[in-house]
Amino acid sequence: MGIQNSQHQSAVERYRSRQATIGIVGLGYVGQPLAFCFVEGGQKVLGFDVNRRVVDLLNSGQSTIEHIGADRVASALSSGFEATTDYARVAEADCLIICVPTPLNRNREPDMSYIRATMASIEPHLREGQFIALESTTFPGTIDDEVLPVVHRRGLVPGETIFVAYSPEREDPGRKDYSTRTIPKLLGGVTPVCTEVGVACYEAAINTIVPVSSTKVAELAKLLENIQRAVNIGLVNEMKIVADRMGIDIHDVIDAAATKPFGFVPYYPGPGLGGHCIPIDPFYLTWKAREYGINTRFIELAGEVNGAMPDFVVHKIAMALNDRFKCIKGARVLVLGIAYKPDVDDMRESPSVIIMEKLRDLGAELSYSDPHIPVFPETREHHFTMTSVSLDPETLKSYDCVLLATHHAAFDYDMLLEHAPLIVDTRGRYRGDNLNVVCA
């Protein structure tokens, strides 16, 4: 009943009395809204990020994410929120919730460098009584492989002198019907005591916490959520190619099938997969499964289909221009929407950008219009020096092809239809017979 009970009860009481300091490591699309939920739940929050610009903007009251308003940042600051690049302050935090990227490398293998760098930064400052939660999407066993060795090197014992859990993020930027607070949250601790402490910690920020039996169950559950979507989207994208060859509108087919009141869930095709989850997370499992001698054929086939969709779109553009006695080389192409989904400013893994690169390689003269991304940002892999084009009738008439890649609500679709000489529609926005519209 000694150290374990003392540390455990002290931690639970500290969280439930709102006397804890919450440390959020990584202030991006996941960490930032979570930090503000904790503040709004009455906890003091200290945010950590390696990006000095993000830290300075937040501390000055400016939002770095479109769907998070400056008023919410200002309110958090007035309630004690602070952002810092000084990882020595990790010792001030009673819990550390890690929300850093987990991309794929060039060989489509998990890139664990962000998690490893984070653990190296916090290691010297870990202390007894802290709670550590990893939220980054990853493969089963990451807590065991990447987090626990660091804890053990500090001489800390999970469930006794420190508490460790995995609690996958379920953030969906721009969603209106659910928010960070209202999306149920999985949590699997290294021990039952770790789970109990984790639930007490998250109660200030999340309405519904769902304890699971282990960290590996939580890790694999997150992958299953996104793999299910990836496989179903791969299926409907393949159906789209088949329907196109048969001269059938795939959206008419989906609408018809969706009238069945059971057994069918509609998924919709597009120009490829985007966002940080669905195009990436399935390959964390395919990589890990090979360690066990298993080939995950469904997952890899879905990835192959979805990854080929930008080529399908480029081919449709080429054929549409060819029908108008033009070629891609030298054609003026306007890409509508470079965010990966409608009505957000998130470009991570956007298929629009992949299509732009393919068109550029074929000699097209490119522009883009996106009301949520006024300037094409600097990224590690994609390089364009562009600003968003304002849409008006004369501008639209000046392009040989307008590619509807992301269907933002802010676009004036009637104006596009009236004035664009050619629209290649990847989102099924235009239905019926329109002489200047080609579905892709």
> Which active-site residues does the annotation give?
277
The Cα 69–Cα 142 span in angstroms is 34
Give CA separation, 19 vs 13, 15, 48, 380, in Å.
Answer: 8, 6, 19, 40
Please say whether the beta carbons of 103 and 280 come within 8 A: yes
Encode burial over 218-234: b for 16+ CB neighbours within 10 A, e otherwise.
Answer: bbbbbbebbbebbbebb
* Maximal C-alpha separation, the chain: 82
Nearest to 416 by CA among 374, 432, 434, 433: 434
Look up tokens 């053990």; give the residue. 152
Q: HEC states along 326-388?
A: CCCCCCEEEEECCCCCCCCCCCCCCHHHHHHHHHHHCCCEEEEECCCCCECCCCCCCCCCCEC
**DSSP character at residue 403:** E
The Cα 342–Cα 410 span in angstroms is 9
List helix spans (H) across 82-142. Answer: 113-122, 142
The Cα 237–Cα 234 span in angstroms is 5
Q: HEC states along 257-298?
A: HCCCCCCCCCCCCCCCCCCCCCCCHHHHHHHHHHCCCCCCHH
Edge-to-edge order in the sheet of strand 401-404 = 365-369, 332-336, 401-404, 423-425, 437-439
Look up tokens 């940002």; give the residue. 377
